[in-house]
Amino acid sequence: MDPAKTGEFAHIGKSVIIKGELSGSEDLNVDGVVEGTIQLQGNNLVIGPNGQVKADIHAKSVVVQGKLEGNIWASERAELRKSAAVVGDIFTQRIAIEEGAYFKGKVDIQKEAARTASSITTRSESSAEGKSASGTAKSAAPGIVAAGVAGTPVTKA
Amino acid sequence: MATVSQSFMKLFRGSADSGSGAKATPATTRLTRRSSGLVELARILQSEDPLCVLDLGSTSAANIRYMTERGHKIYSEDLLEASTDPSLATRDEQGKAVLDSKRFLSENLVFSAAQFDLVLCWNLADYLDETLVKPVVARLWTTMRPGGMLLAFFHTQEAGPDAPCYRYHILSQDVLEMQHIEARKDMRKGPTGAVHTSIHKTFRLQRVFNNRHIENLFRDFTSIKFFLTRDNVREVLVVR
């Protein structure tokens, strides 16, 4: 699930600022600033330790290590790592919250998952952190499209 | 009420300032306790209808799991941490340092009216700044449904001024796990408030409510029930 381990993901580096609508059909790792909306239906999103996102997010799975202000619609799973600070509501089937994560908002487990026992897990502190820090926009694979107003360098088409 | 509690805190401060030698509880220490209040809540938590629950303690995956596994919706809002925002500091008419309760409530506990069936207040009132306690309780009243329940813990005088501040994790329908809260370093630098009066690396007990104070605090609610425990804490179950 962790796209950082597969190498097949688009990456928004920590010096990148994107304002507007971000959509795509592949996994995305955000270590920069994104304001607007993120649409990754069927794909995974990782907000890295340096990531600062103010957006509503639609994705298959969402892993937050940085800061997020906005709602999460994760069709499969949402995960808040210990460095995460999330203000917003989470709608998902499964959720994992690491010790130390900050969360302000609502958790709404979707009905399919509510019937499943142990839909929520508590991660241990020793779990791996994403290794995605990058000084620039490393790459944006063809599936990612940024629409709207860009601050500093935006993803490539 | 304020006069009594302030007088009491003078005793606390006196003992603390003189170096009471309180033992700091390690952040990793986790204790368990049986909760009679939680047992009472178990009946409504078995409801087939999804309930709306508000947890005012630190983010707890255990509590979120416990509620969502039963089909309930849970909101998490750490008011104690929110109260440490240094920008909330202001002065009252007498020039005394206080927290801006109006601004605090414009940024926190912002929900539609009559929404919650259950509020888990834990020990918030004991550690929250004096300025915020009554406004917060009044706001909770507006956000709870008639018949909704609120669970709160209050220390007794025997607990002492250095009673550690815990976050509570629900383990089962009658057992809580208590985890010592370690305040972040940057939380202790403000001009007032629960953390700012602390001489330790944690939140500090602000006052001790007696039963009369507690009844007065929740006077707008329909009923109140006390559960005495062995660890110098009273559990209180309040019905809206």
DSSP per-residue codes, B146-200: EEEEEEEEEE-GGG-TTPPPEEEEE-SSSEEEEEE----GGGG-SSSSTTTT-SS
Lowest mean pLDDT among A143-147, B140-144, B209-213: A143-147
Tell which wins on pLDDT, B113 or B121. Answer: B121
CA distance A20 to A75: 22
Report pLDDT for A131: 34
- Contact residues on chain A for B75, CB-CB shorter than 8 A: 105-107
Instruction: Work out the average pLDDT over A27-39.
Output: 95
- Which residue in A has a C-alpha nearest to residue B62's C-alpha? A122
What band does B237 get if pLDDT is binned at 50, 70 and 90? Answer: very high
- Average of per-residue pLDDT values in chain B: 81
As its CATH architecture, domain B29-203+216-239 has 3-Layer(aba) Sandwich (3.40)
- Average of per-residue pLDDT values in chain A: 76
Phi/psi at B55 (5° precision): -105, 115
What band does B232 get if pLDDT is binned at 50, 70 and 90? Answer: confident
Instruction: Work out the average pLDDT over A59-63.
Output: 96
CA distance A98 to A108: 18
Instruction: Work out the average pLDDT over A55-62.
Output: 96
Q: Does the beta-carbon distance from A105 to B75 stay under 8 Å?
A: yes
Tell which wins on pLDDT, A124 or B41. Answer: B41
Looking at the complex, report in whole angstroms how far the Cα of residue B138 sits from the nearest Cα belonging to chain A: 20
Instruction: Work out the average pLDDT over A82-110.
Output: 92
CA distance A57 to B229: 45
Phi/psi at A106 (5° precision): -110, 145
Q: Does the beta-carbon distance from A114 to B62 stay under 8 Å?
A: no
Lowest mean pLDDT among A18-22, A30-34, A123-127, B176-180: A123-127
Instruction: Work out the average pLDDT over B1-16.
Output: 44
What band does A121 get if pLDDT is binned at 50, 70 and 90? Answer: low
Instruction: Work out the average pLDDT over A80-90.
Output: 94
Q: Does the beta-carbon distance from B74 to A107 stay under 8 Å?
A: yes
Q: Does the beta-carbon distance from A119 to B69 stay under 8 Å?
A: yes
CA distance B236 to A83: 34
Asked whether the predicted pLDDT for residue A22 surpasses 50, the reply is yes
Residue among B59, B68, B81 whose CB faces A101 most closely: B59
Residue among A103, A109, A120 whose CB faces B59 most closely: A103
Q: Does the beta-carbon distance from A103 to B76 stay under 8 Å?
A: yes
Nearest to B51 by CA among B76, B73, B75, B69: B73
Report pLDDT for A155: 35
All structural domains of chain B with their residue ranges = 29-203+216-239
pLDDT tens-place string over residues B73-90: 999 999 988 888 888 888
CA distance A29 to B4: 55
Q: Does the beta-carbon distance from A114 to B71 stay under 8 Å?
A: yes
Query: In one letter, which amino acid is A151?
Result: G
pLDDT tens-place string over residues B53-71: 999 998 899 999 899 988 8
- Contact residues on chain A for B77, CB-CB shorter than 8 A: 104-105
CA distance B4 to B207: 9
pTM: 0.77
All structural domains of chain A with their residue ranges = 3-147
Asked whether the predicted pLDDT for residue A132 surpasses 80, the reply is no
